[in-house]
């Protein structure tokens, strides 16, 4: 009894509900025998992984669904043990190098070479090559990406690489040029509506379109989120009628609380309170960029038109700094203070010239 989102996941390219063109192209690529390296990118919850799995099934048949997990231990140059979990079938292998943190280069180098240097021994296999899926490719370090470059060309005969990323901006150009780029855009409202109707039909109930619409609005193009939400809602009130409130995840409500704190008072004591809340969120594994985005969205909702642009501008500035820096909280806090200052000045209607130096 899995969650619906896992239970009703499409298994083959034919089952996919949207981006049909993409599905067709994948299908023909898989059957052509000349399968390139690929880079799937798009926002989370758009269906990248699902499409990758379907493509693999198209390539190798149902055998790819027999998955097992292995834990491999690599040695860093400084003799530190790095544990990496590997999901694999007979035909493909899936790694998340970002698990190894700074040592992802070691993982990429050793693992890829190892796979590339062995040929497919199963004579009945449909393809002569194996596929390596690299998850979270956009969090690969520079070194790891560089290590990937030559490998991708050299071992083309034995191996294909499928990269999966949220955005291509952090991938170096040589990698992008070696891959076939596959953009999996977030589904639009109609696509989502269709998928959700399909899910509800399979789950055995009728989904009123307006309820679905509400969920879709809330999910922001994240289909995973939408379906999880639908299930939660169904569990909450089985007949899906009446005034439905879509429960927000815990961290989101918490972020909104932080935003309200910023708006309601601007003082050093309040900044420290907010800092404590940020620490709480960060230590509970909410990525800092998500925190900043959620809080900033909420703040923008609540402040006056005049300073909305400024708030967002500074959120963008500090997000970039956050990505380059190491102690995220510093940048989050700097943004909070900036917003407080902006807001206060706006409240007292001060001349802001020369402020943002």
Q: Should residue 110 be labelled a site residue for another protein when binding is judged by CB under 8 A?
A: no
Least distance to another protein, CB of residue 144, Å: 12
Q: What letter would DSSP give residue 308?
A: H
Q: Which of the stretches 146-154, 175-183, 279-287, 299-307 binds another protein when contact is defined by CB under 8 A?
A: 279-287
Q: Should residue 306 be labelled a site residue for another protein when binding is judged by CB under 8 A?
A: no
Comparing CA positions, the residue from 253, 246, 333 lying closest to residue 298 is: 253
| Residue ranges in 54-93 that form contacts with another protein under rule CB under 8 A | 67-73, 83, 85, 87
CB-based contact 89:65 (threshold 8 Å)? yes
Tell me the CA distances in angstroms from 307 to 34, 82, 265, 271, 331, one per residue in order: 54, 47, 17, 20, 20
Least distance to another protein, CB of residue 157, Å: 29
- Residue 163 three-state SS: strand
Please pick, from the candidates 123, 173, 235, 243, the single residue that binds another protein as defined by CB under 8 A. 235
For the sheet with 130-134, list strands across it: 68-75, 81-88, 92-95, 130-134, 159-165, 38-41, 180-183
Please pick, from the candidates 182, 286, 307, 311, the single residue that binds another protein as defined by CB under 8 A. 286
- Residue 7 three-state SS: helix
| Residue ranges in 130-149 that form contacts with another protein under rule CB under 8 A | 135-136, 142-143
Q: Which of the stretches 43-51, 149-157, 176-184, 301-309 binds another protein when contact is defined by CB under 8 A?
A: 43-51
123 or 235, CB closer to another protein?
235
| Residue ranges in 192-211 that form contacts with another protein under rule CB under 8 A | none
151 or 294, CB closer to another protein?
294
Q: How far apart are CA 315 and CA 339, in angstroms?
A: 9
Q: Should residue 331 be labelled a site residue for another protein when binding is judged by CB under 8 A?
A: yes
């Amino acid at each position: 009894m899995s969650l619906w989102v896992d239970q009703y996941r499409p298994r083959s390219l034919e089952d996919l509900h949207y981006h049909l063109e993409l599905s067709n192209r994948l299908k023909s690529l898989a059957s052509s025998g000349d399968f390139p390296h690929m880079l799937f990118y798009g926002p989370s919850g758009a269906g990248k992984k699902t499409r990758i799995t379907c493509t693999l099934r198209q390539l190798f048949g149902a055998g790819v669904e027999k998955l097992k997990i292995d834990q491999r231990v690599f040695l860093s140059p400084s003799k530190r043990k790095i544990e990496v979990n590997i999901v694999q079938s007979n035909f493909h292998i899936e790694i998340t190098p970002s698990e190894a943190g700074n040592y992802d280069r070691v993982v990429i180098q050793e693992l890829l070479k190892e796979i590339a240097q062995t040929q497919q021994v199963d004579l009945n296999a449909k393809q002569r090559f194996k596929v390596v899926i690299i998850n979270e490719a956009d969090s690969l370090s520079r070194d790891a990406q560089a290590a990937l470059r030559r490998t991708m060309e050299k071992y083309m005969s034995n191996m294909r690489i499928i990269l999966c990323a949220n955005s291509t901006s952090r991938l170096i150009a040589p990698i992008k040029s070696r891959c076939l780029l596959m953009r999996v855009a977030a589904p639009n409202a109609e696509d989502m509506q269709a998928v959700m109707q399909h899910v509800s039909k399979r789950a055995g109930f009728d989904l009123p379109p307006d309820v679905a619409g509400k969920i879709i609005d809330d999910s922001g193009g994240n289909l995973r989120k939408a379906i999880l939400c639908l299930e939660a809602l169904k569990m909450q009130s089985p007949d899906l009628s009446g005034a439905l409130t879509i429960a927000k995840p815990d961290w989101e409500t918490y972020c909104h609380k932080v935003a309200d704190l910023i708006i309601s008072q601007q003082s050093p004591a309040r900044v420290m309170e907010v800092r404590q809340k940020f620490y709480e969120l960060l230590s509970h594994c909410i990525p800092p960029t998500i925190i900043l985005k959620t809080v900033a969205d909420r703040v923008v909702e609540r402040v006056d038109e005049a300073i909305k642009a400024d708030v967002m501008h500074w959120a963008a500035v500090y997000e970039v700094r956050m990505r380059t820096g190491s102690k995220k909280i510093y940048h989050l806090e700097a943004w909070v203070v900036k917003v407080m200052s902006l807001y206060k000045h706006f409240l007292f209607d001060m001349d802001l010239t020369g402020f943002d130096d």
